[in-house]
């Protein structure tokens, strides 16, 4: 395992070292010490790397991830795993706003709670939050899945498209065009698989499913402001 100590090395040099692992990867396993909430750690990775960040991370940790497995042994700031394409990002603590924003693929696991707008504009990734999520989570989410093992705040799924949302706890309120839907067999299978991949032992039958009522897909003259 290659160890980088950020008390001695800059974030720029860390990311450059990770980016240099191309082609025949010379070093797959990395450990980052003393992150101290630094921003943009392990961003833009596009190789099959395993990166363990031993402490708290700042903004945009593991952003634009493609293929790597990044674990934060602490909490993370705004935009963790934003625009992720593939791979896995796991945060052992809590995350701030906009976790997994615009992510197109891969799996984000938050073992604590997530702040507001978790999964905003989600485009195909899967997000599993073992705790609760804040207001306007999955706002304008287009595709993918959000699993919340705790509670959800105000305006869940506001203006969403075809994302699947599963919540075990209570929902403070649903956003525009978001409604509760039936849990069919295919949804139980999907949820069971995601819980297993995330390492969560919850019963999928205890969750409720939410999705789009599809009333915002077409223009309605009654909604026009004249």
What pLDDT does residue 216 have? 82
What pLDDT does residue 188 have? 98
Residue 225, phi then psi, degrees to nearest 5: -95, 110
Nearest alpha-carbon partner for 72 in 47, 42, 92: 92
What pLDDT does residue 5 have? 98
DSSP E strands: which ranges in 50-170? Answer: 50-54, 69-72, 88-91, 107-110, 123-129, 143-148, 164-167
pLDDT tens digit string along 184-198? 999 999 999 999 999
Q: Provide the CATH topology of domain 2-223.
A: Pectate Lyase C-like (2.160.20)
What pLDDT does residue 217 have? 76
What pLDDT does residue 22 have? 75
What pLDDT does residue 226 have? 64
Nearest alpha-carbon partner for 136 in 77, 169, 79, 176: 176
Nearest alpha-carbon partner for 198 in 102, 123, 76, 110: 110
What pLDDT does residue 218 have? 74
Domain ranges of the chain: 2-223
| Cα 19 to Cα 26, 32, 48, 49, 116, distances in angstroms | 12, 15, 11, 10, 31
Please report which residue ranges of the chain form alpha helices under DSSP H.
Answer: 11-19, 185-198
DSSP E strands: which ranges in 19-163? Answer: 29-33, 50-54, 69-72, 88-91, 107-110, 123-129, 143-148
Question: Tens place of pLDDT for every residue, the chain, 226 residues?
Answer: 999 999 999 999 999 999 998 766 578 999 999 999 999 999 999 999 999 999 999 999 999 999 999 999 999 999 999 999 999 999 999 999 999 999 999 999 999 999 999 999 999 999 999 999 999 999 999 999 999 999 999 999 999 999 999 999 999 999 999 999 999 999 999 999 999 999 999 999 999 999 999 988 777 777 676 6
* In contact, 153 and 135? CB cutoff 8 Å: yes
- Angle subtended at Cα 23 by Cα 17 and Cα 27, rounded to the nearest 5 degrees: 45
For residues 97 and 163, give the distance between their C-alpha atoms in angstroms, rounded to a whole number.
19
For residues 107 and 197, give the distance between their C-alpha atoms in angstroms, rounded to a whole number.
9
The two tokens of residue 29 are 């396993």
């Amino acid at each position: 395992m290659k160890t980088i100590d950020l008390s001695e090395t800059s974030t720029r040099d860390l990311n450059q070292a990770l980016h240099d692992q191309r082609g025949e990867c010379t070093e797959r396993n990395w450990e980052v010490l003393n992150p101290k909430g630094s921003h943009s750690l392990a961003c833009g990775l596009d190789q099959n790397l395993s990166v363990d960040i031993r402490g708290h991370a700042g903004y945009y940790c593991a952003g634009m991830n493609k293929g790597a497995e990044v674990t934060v042994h602490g909490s993370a700031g705004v935009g963790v795993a934003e625009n992720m394409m593939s791979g896995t990002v796991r945060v052992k603590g809590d995350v701030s706003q906009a976790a997994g924003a615009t992510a197109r693929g891969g799996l984000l696991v938050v073992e604590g709670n997530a702040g507001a707008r978790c999964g905003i504009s989600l485009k195909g990734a899967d997000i599993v939050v073992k705790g609760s999520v804040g207001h306007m989570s999955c706002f304008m989410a287009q595709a993918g899945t959000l699993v919340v093992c705790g509670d959800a705040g105000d305006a869940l799924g506001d203006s969403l498209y075809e994302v699947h949302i599963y919540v075990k706890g209570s929902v403070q309120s649903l956003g525009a065009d978001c409604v509760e839907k039936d849990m069919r067999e295919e949804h139980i299978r999907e949820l069971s698989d995601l819980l297993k991949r995330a390492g969560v032992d919850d019963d999928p039958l205890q969750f409720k499913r939410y999705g789009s009522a599809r009333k915002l897909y077409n223009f309605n003259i009654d909604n026009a402001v004249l």
